Amino acid sequence: MSHDHDGGFAHPAPPKLLITVFIALVLLTILTLAMSSIDLGLMGAFGFWIAMSIASFKAALVLLFFMHMYWDKPFNVLVFLSSSLFVILFIGLTLMDSSHYKNSVDEYPRQPDPPALSP
Amino acid sequence: MATAAERKKLFGHAENNYLNCTKGIRSWIFTLDHKRIGVMYLVGVTLALLLAGVFALILRLNLWTNTSELLTDAQYNQMFTLHGAVMVFAFIIPSIPAALGNFVLPMMLGAKDVAFPRLNLCSFYLWILGTGFLLWAIISGKGLDTGWTFYTPYSIQTDTGVIYATFGAFILGFSSIFTGLNFLVTVNTMRIPGQGWFKMPLFLWGLYATAIIQVLATPVLGITLLLLIAEKAMHIGIFDPKYGGDPVLFQHFFWFYSHPAVYIMILPGMGVISELIAVYSRKKVFGYSFIAFSSVAIALLGFLVWGHHMFTSGQSIVVTLIFSAITFTVAIPSAVKVFNWLATMYKGSIALTTPMCYALSFIFLFGIGGLTGLFLGALSTDIHLHDTYFVVAHFHFVMVGGTLTAVFGGVYHWWPKMFGRMYNDNLGRLSCFLVFMGFNLTFFPQFVMGARGMPRRYASYDPEFTIFHQWSTAGAMVLGIGIVLGFGVLVYAAFKGPKVAGNPFGAASLEWQSSSPPDFHNFIHQPILHDPYDFESMIYDEELDTYVPKEFMEPDKQPATEPEPQTH
Amino acid sequence: MAVVEPEHEAHDDHHDHGEFIAHHFESAEQQFDSGKLGIWLFLVTEVLFFSGLFVAYTLYRVLHPEIFDQAHVFLDKYLGFANTLVLLFSSLTMAVAVRYAQLGKNQHVVWYVLGTMVCASAFLGVKAIEYTHKWDQGIMVRSYFDYHAGHHEASMPLARALGVSDYLIWISIVPVLLLVGFALFAVFAKLTEKANAAFFSACMAIAIGGYFIGALAGHFYMELTDGGIGGRSEKAAALMAYEDETHSDHEHTDKPADHHDESAAEQQKETSEIAPYEGPQNDEFDQDIGIFFSIYYCMTGLHAIHIIAGIGFLAWILWRSILGHWRSDYFGPCDYVGLYWHLVDLIWIYLFPLLYLID
Amino acid sequence: MNLLTPLLAQNNIQDVDGIPTPESSIEHVGSYWFPEQASTFAGDIDFLYMAILWISTLFFVVIIGVMVYFMFKYRRREGVGSEPSSSHNTALEIFWSVIPSIILVWIFYAGAKGFFEMRVPFDDAEEIYVTANQFNWKFVYPDGDVSKELHIVVNRPVKLVMQSDDVLHAMFIPAFRQKNDIVPGRYTYAYMRPTKVGAYRLACAEYCGEGHSRMRTVCVVHKDEADRKNTTQWENEKHPGWVNGERLFQINCSGCHSIDGTVKTGPAINTIWGTDERLSNGSTVKVDENYIRESILEPSKTLVEGYGATGTLSKMPSFQGKLSDAEIGYLIDYIRYLKDPSKFPDRDTLVQPPAADGTGATSTVPADPPADTKPADSQPAENTTDGDPPQDDQASDGSTDPKTDNQDQEN
């Protein structure tokens, strides 16, 4: 068995890049926190989507640089990203259904909790 | 040109093989060899099948009369639950991928092993552990009476061993995930040089599509069962309506896994059938790429149709329509496969050996199973048929008529490779006949019962159905005899059957270019890559009474690789 | 380049290139690629594993926003923020550790992996404070949810002496045992001249020490702010007041503000016996607040389990780094554990705004 | 054994047209595949079913025919190998993908259309409240009548508003081809319009626990409202207390408690009166009025040995707010009756009104002490003659009597 190539598959990330990414992540975290603390007059749902966008941007940074996706094989990238597709599918169809039958749940008179169980 | 002695060494019956290269119980318990793990899996899932089969026979006996005289209602409920849970989680899901796939997949790729042998062994022990938990639910005397679907809130209310069983299913889920992950990686990175995606045998496409589902869907089962355990232990209020939870949400969670899981059960079976039809017709498979892509299409579409288990469950009308529409799209790739198999047989040279008999009965039974799916996919008829014996018959036609016959076909096909010995073909065909007849007798009457309104999971029933139940029970006995005979023939062959050489059936995929049973390293020489369905590439060697690659037979051609034995 | 670390005594064993290539792989690259694809697939299963909880979250958030509006004020967003920073930093150290593994600099890998582990433990320490604080107040999963504000007298003498919750003592038993065990073993290994084992155990003791750093920091934060300023106090007070108004049959009593002195705290404890807000059992509208906490505990609990598992994997990497296993053509395990660790971070990046920053 | 007959007999349903006799109901009524068509959608569904059946059969016969033909035509023979033929034909693939697709689109359309009809309410539908619990059905009609079978009127559309007290159930009437799950914590609905007078099976189709297969009852379609009212109305005043108790027992309790000694989900109740029951906490309790009352209203408080550990939730739901005091009194009467029927009046005894006006002609005045309960019931003498529902205050009056009676017995 011969192994004369010397590991051409390693892609060490430059430390400066890593630190830059880290600083960006911290700043974005502070931004999200600030947004929730200061009421900018944004409506709840809108603020939620901004928060989610920021989180996704942070996630993208982590994926691309910390997780080396930037240098990785396209197939691996595809594999990982496909998971989000299925998560969206799962959430989407389930949510679509339950929001449709929500009425029949809301109409139903709430029963009191059952008596607490003895431990 | 290889000499006869070399051919005998490479392709003959091997006295030194993976079965006896190392000895002692430890060499099996700690083996990392995919072939041994495959054999151990095969033994395990067979035992699970027999156990669950005994449950089924008890169920059927109880239904001989309409008043449930053999079992109490509670016992009946436990029996059908355990029948379902053991069959689904411990037998069908691991049967073809983990048992046959483990043995065959690396060899079909010309590889020495799967990518992660330790993970593979770990997966097997998880299977043991998970099945152990399922059985613990029985042995501990608590039983399990929720149905294999664990629907809330009943699973929260009942005081049977739900936590054991769900934990067992959770572990079995991880066993399945690890198998799938291993196969995906193995197929991606370990194909023999030159073996492109479209030079893989179709069985690998089936396993690959299965593995996609295993990796993507099974984790959802994991979290569902964890939440169910949490709900049962602490009432976290997500599924329990008493605490503001939503039982329909549980069904979404459950079927997001369990519908794709149906395809985990059937896709590998379809892959096996694609192999069998081609090999025993000695015919290049028709529409290779259509069969290959239909597997992947079924796997992906399988994620979009889970709601068709919930048409009457209080699911909203809109979502129900969407799910119904997508459900019909799954029918197309399944139909395409069947048509392509038929076209493969066209102008072939069809040998009606045991595996081929199983393959043909697969087409028959899966055909019925698939077509009756149309009744259940169509919304208005499904409202009537939902949760009746029609559904029971439908999925048994797919799961048993489909998967079980594929398991048998595959095991009969690869048995000489696994153990280097041949079975009695006539007895094998008899077992196939019994399974086929018994199966139809068991489940055909259930279509009629279902359409007439016999709900499933009933311990006692209205007298008008008695005659159908009695037919069904009689059929189940025949089916049971057929299954036992089928395994009996194989077990006898493994020990006492006549020895055979490497490739008795003239198949052209790579796993047959080895001795029988294979060497520990699978191949003594580097296998020579042909099209997996180019049966002309294998030539009959009279001396060995087997087929060998033409490169080794034709004097004017040198083998691509020097057939020198590797010592490792 | 394949440079072997010279400073480790174990290096002699690893000159052979084939050492780490399993028999069924043709080349180091094939092995690495297989592992890499394998770990990505594993991460996919992890994402889908968590997806169930995200579905539950989304459903209840969309269908019952009132639960979330009322419940989130019980979470302290500054603690969550601190934990986010800790995890992000651990991701950075992990990324750097992987870089050094790729370069074959094992000694560097040791320090950075150790840094990652300390952060991981610190995260758990802060989480322990958060959890126990809530348990003290009866903020539990749905069926056990029984909120009662105010301070809690611990019943265990040790807990009382330290001024912490009983629950904190219970869940700190494991880290204490581990810390003591590793420290003792380090000394023992040193004495028996097993340098690697001693070094490893010492590192592990330090790593687990991170838990106490986190717990102490969280504890003092809670002490200084009288139960946290990032969430409950003001808003919860407002919420309680709202409860008062809307339920006239309940008794008045102000919500405890966050600047009570000791005696006031004592008194507040008493008044909380007849607290205006008597938990979900008595209030139909708030019956389901506990569902938020069910989801919260499931999500963060599962995440914490992943952190704990991650510490285990990191310990394995640490050990192999100490043995000097990494080379430019063999660094797979370090890379894979790194990917796993980043995924845990990734999930937290979503959990933080979803759970702590609802407004 | 016929399912329908005893159920119908118990409720004195004899005069409904088309009720199958015991002999005929063992026979299947309907076409080969289906039960009778008794609702508006049954015809469409059966048509679609048969259409799919014939399409499938056609495909299946062709596939299997070709397969069998190939099996023989191309069977392996000495010296005859496989013949070369194309291994790929895109046109053919497209052909056999598209043709089935078109058929599938039609099937989907037809199914969806029928589904809409089944899930969209009729105008002016009569609303009937259905409560399913393990393992009983209870139907409440707009006029307040209660029954354990579903009674509806032919050609009058019905909207079932269904709720479950415990787990999932499903309301399934094969003859109507209608089915819908009953989900705890919300309402689900089922719509139907019966087209044929008769009695049809109504079953629980979603697995709900031990007695799932016993959760069967009938749906009776009456020819007109008067006929229906005749059957569903029940006047406690007209019957001895234990008969009222029997009826309540059948509506509420019979799914889990037997009266023949067999153990179902709960203990049998035929002989428990006056005995000492062992509880799961080890103590014993005498089965008396107070114990029965407590068991009905707070079932989790004490559990009988073998039915769960103390402190766990009982499988039995609480009937607090669902049964009035008077009704609990009737149930106690019934349990006592089961233990010793000799002390009680006959089933058909009509309660003797104080001011007899001829309707009570067949009645006998009970002489036994337990009959002390009766005078309270018999006070509204005028009401017993016609169909007026009992007044609430009278019902609560009745509750006092069993209690005083109990005290007498204990003393």
Query: ipTM, 2 decimals?
Result: 0.88
Q: Which residues of D touch A101 (CB under 8 A)?
A: 186
More confident residue, B135 or D353: B135
**Residue A116 forms part of a structural domain:** no
Show residues of chain B in contact with C50, CB under 8 Å: 223
pLDDT tops 70 at residue A90 = yes
CA atoms within 13 Å, Cβ hemisphere of C119: 24
- CA dist., res. B122 & res. B104, Å (int): 19
Which of A2, A16, A23, A29 best tests the C interface by mutation, with the highest count of C CBs <10 A? A29
Yes or no, beta carbons of C37 and B190 under 8 Å apart? no
Chain C residues with CB-CB distance to B183 below 8 A: none
Q: Inter-chain contact B252–A97, Cβ cutoff 8 Å?
A: yes
Q: Which residue has the higher pLDDT, D217 or B122?
A: B122
Q: What percent of chain C has pLDDT over 70?
A: 76
Cβ-Cβ contacts under 8 Å for B49 (sequence gap 6 or more): B87, B91, B95, B404, B483
Mean pLDDT of chain B: 91
Predicted local confidence at residue B266, as pLDDT = 94
What's the confidence (pLDDT) of residue D66? Answer: 95
What pLDDT score does C256 carry? 39
Give the pLDDT confidence score for residue D26 in this predicted structure. Answer: 59
Examine the pLDDT at D376 and tell me if it is beyond 60: no
- With touching defined as 3 or more inter-chain CB pairs under 8 Å, the answer for chains D and C is no
pLDDT at D407 over 50: no
Residue to mutate among B159, B238, B316, with most A CBs inside 10 A, is B316
- The confidence score (pLDDT) of residue D7 equals 54
B238 CB within 8 Å of a chain D CB:
no
List CB contacts (< 8 A) between C358 and chain A. 36, 48
Beta bridge partners of D180: D171
Distance linking the first and last C-alpha atoms of chain B: 25
Q: What is the pLDDT of residue C288?
A: 77
Q: In this structure, are residues B192 and B108 in contact, taking their beta carbons and an 8 Å threshold?
A: no
Average the pLDDT over each of B21-25, B367-371, C198-202 and give the range with the smallest value: B21-25
Q: Which domain holds residue A79?
A: 72-102
Q: Average pLDDT for residues B95-116, to the nearest whole number?
A: 94
Per-residue model confidence as pLDDT tens digits over D253-264:
887 888 887 777
Kind and range of the H or E element at B546?
Answer: strand B546-549
pLDDT for residue B356 is more than 80: yes
Q: What are the residue boundaries of the structural domains of chain C, listed by start? A: 28-356
What pLDDT is stored for residue D318 in this prediction? 79
DSSP-assigned states of every residue in D253-296: TTTT--SSS---SS---SS-TTSEEEBTTS-EEE-SHHHHHHHH
Q: How confident is the model at residue C287 (pLDDT cuts 50, 70, 90)?
A: low
- D282 pLDDT above the threshold of 90: no
Q: How far is C57 from chain A (nearest CA, A)?
A: 10
Is residue B105's pLDDT more than 80? yes
Interface probe for A, chosen from D160, D180, D187, D303 (most Cβ of A below 10 Å), is: D187
Contact C349 A58 (CB under 8 A): yes
Nearest to A96 among B188, B220, B319 (CB): B319
Strands D146-147 and D198-204: unpaired
Same domain, yes or no: A24 and A63: yes
> What is the b/e burial string over B274-302, where b = at least 16 CB atoms within 10 angstroms of the residue's CB?
bbbbbbbbbbbbbbbebbbebbbbbbbbb
Picking from B332, B375, B459, the nearest residue to D101 by CB comes out as: B332
DSSP assignment letter at A26 = H
Cβ of B29 under 8 Å from any chain D Cβ? no
Does the pLDDT of residue C63 top 60, yes or no? yes
Whether B84 shows a pLDDT value over 60: the answer reads yes
Contact B243 A113 (CB under 8 A): yes
Q: What residues does D220 pair with on adjacent strands?
A: D151, D199
Q: Which residues of B touch A90 (CB under 8 A)?
A: 220, 256
**Mean per-residue pLDDT, C157-186:** 90
Q: Answer yes or no: is pLDDT of C302 > 90.
A: yes
**CATH entry, D239-410, from 2.40.30.200, 1.10.760.10, 3.40.50.10470, 3.30.70.940:** 1.10.760.10
Q: What is the 3-state secondary structure (H, E, C) of B318-377?
A: HHHHHHHHHHHHHHHHHHHHHHHHHHHHCCCCECCCHHHHHHHHHHHHHHHHHHHHHHHH
Model confidence at C264, pLDDT cuts 50, 70, 90, reads very low
Give the span between the Cα atoms of A54 and A69, in whole angstroms.
19
Distance, in Å, from the CA atom of B380 to the CA atom of B386, rounded to the nearest integer, reads 10
Higher pLDDT, C15 or C147: C147
| pLDDT, position B553 | 76
Residues of D numbered 257-286 whose beta carbons fall under 8 angstroms of chain B's beta carbons: which are they? 264
Do residues A79 and A53 share a domain?
A: no
Alpha-carbon distances, residue B147 vs B77, B162, D16 (angstroms)? 8, 10, 39
Say whether both A65 and A76 belong to one domain.
no
Share of chain B above pLDDT 90, in %: 76
Specify the number of domains making up chain B.
1
Reply yes or no on whether the pLDDT at C76 is more than 50: yes
Chain D residues within an 8 Å CB radius of A113: none
Model pTM score:
0.88
Q: Does B504 touch chain C (CB under 8 A)?
A: no
Residue B299 within a domain:
yes
Q: Does A83 touch chain B (CB under 8 A)?
A: yes
Mark yes or no for CB contact C49/B215 under 8 Å: no
Contact C58 A91 (CB under 8 A): yes
- The per-residue pLDDT for range D231-255, each reduced to its tens digit, is 888 887 778 888 888 888 888 888 7
Q: What is the mean pLDDT of residues C330-340?
A: 94
Q: What is the pLDDT of residue C275?
A: 38
Instruction: Give the integer Cα–Cα distance in Å for C303 and C305.
Output: 5
Does pLDDT of D183 surpass 90?
yes
How far A106 CA lies from chain B's nearest CA (Å)? 11
Of C257-271, C330-344, D336-350, the range with the lowest mean pLDDT is C257-271
The domain total for chain A is 2
**Same domain, residue pair A80 and A55:** no
Higher pLDDT pick, D322 / D137: D137
Residue A29 touches partner B, C-beta closer than 8 Å:
no
Among chain C residues, CA nearest to B235: C143
Residue among C167, C122, C67 nearest C311 (CA): C122
Neighbours of C, requiring at least 3 CB pairs below 8 Å, are A, B
Question: What is the sign, positive or negative, of the torsion defined by CA atoms of D374, D380, D381, D385?
Answer: negative
Q: Cβ–Cβ of A5/C29 closer than 8 Å?
A: yes
- Tell me what pLDDT residue D402 has: 39
Residue of B nearest to A89 (CA): B304
Position D116 pLDDT exceeds 70: yes
Contact between residue D329 and residue D401 where contact means Cβ atoms under 8 Å apart: yes
**The most confident of C274-278, C326-330, D176-180, by mean pLDDT:** D176-180
**Chain A residue whose CA is closest to D310:** A118
Q: State the pLDDT confidence band at C279, using cuts at 50, 70 and 90.
A: very low
Residues A82 and A95 in one domain: yes
* Contact (CB<8Å) D186/A104: yes
Give yes or no for residue C261 having a pLDDT over 70: no
Residue C248, pLDDT > 50, answer no
Provide the pLDDT for residue D366: 41
C6 or B91, higher pLDDT: B91
Confidence (pLDDT) at D405: 41
Cβ-nearest to A108 among D186, D310, D313: D186
Please tell me which residue, D361 or D123, carries the higher pLDDT value.
D123
In tens, the pLDDT along B462-505 reads 888 999 999 999 999 999 999 999 999 999 999 999 999 989 99
At A5-47, the pLDDT tens digits run 444 677 888 999 999 999 999 999 999 888 877 765 555 567 7
Residue B534 in domain: no
User: If you measure CA to CA, which chain A residue comes closest to D298?
Assistant: A115
Q: The domain D1-66+91-233: what is its CATH number?
A: 2.60.40.420
Which of B16-25, B258-267, C264-273, D32-41 is the least confident region? C264-273
CB-CB under 8 Å, D113 with B335:
no
**Contact assignment for A6 to C359 by CB distance below 8 Å:** no
Q: Looking at residues B20-35, what average pLDDT do you find?
A: 91
Average pLDDT (B52-81) is 91
How much is the average pLDDT of B39-62? 95
In degrees, rounded to 5, the angle at the alpha carbon of residue B109 between the alpha carbons of residues A68 and B421 is: 145
CB contact under 8 A, B315 and A111: no
Question: Distance between CA D240 and CA D345 in Å, rounded?
Answer: 7
Of D189, D300, D310, the CB nearest to A115: D300
pLDDT category of residue D5 using cuts at 50, 70 and 90 = low
CB contact under 8 A, A89 and B303: yes
**Chain B CB within 8 Å of residue D41 CB:** yes
Chain C contacts of A3, Cβ < 8 Å? 17-18, 21, 27-28, 329
Cβ-nearest to C44 among A67, A79, A90: A79
Stretch among B197-206, C13-22, D125-134 having the lowest mean pLDDT: C13-22
* Residue A33 shares a structural domain with residue A20: yes
- Domain contains B526: no
What is the residue extent of each domain of chain D? 1-66+91-233, 239-410
pLDDT digits (tens, 9 = 90+) for B505-515: 999 999 999 99
Question: Which among C58, C103, C350 has the least Cβ separation from residue A55?
Answer: C350
| Interface contact A105-D186, CB threshold 8 A | yes
Could you tell me the CA-to-CA distances from D19 to D14, D197, D201, D218 in Å, in that order?
Answer: 8, 8, 11, 11
| pLDDT value at residue D350 | 65
CATH dotted code for C28-356: 1.20.120.80
| Cβ distance of B319 and A114 shorter than 8 Å | no
* Shared-domain flag, residues A65 and A18: yes
CB within 8 Å: D311 and A101: no
Q: Is the pLDDT of residue C241 over 80?
A: no
Say whether pLDDT at B425 is over 80. Answer: yes
Question: Could you give the percent of chain A with pLDDT greater than 70?
Answer: 83
B539, part of any domain = no
Q: Report the pLDDT value the prediction gives residue D385, as an integer from 0 to 100.
A: 36
Residue D17 binned pLDDT confidence (cut-offs 50, 70, 90) = very low
Q: Domain of B364?
A: 31-500
Chain C environment of A101 (Cβ under 8 Å): none
The nearest CA of chain B is from the CA of C288 a distance in Å of 6
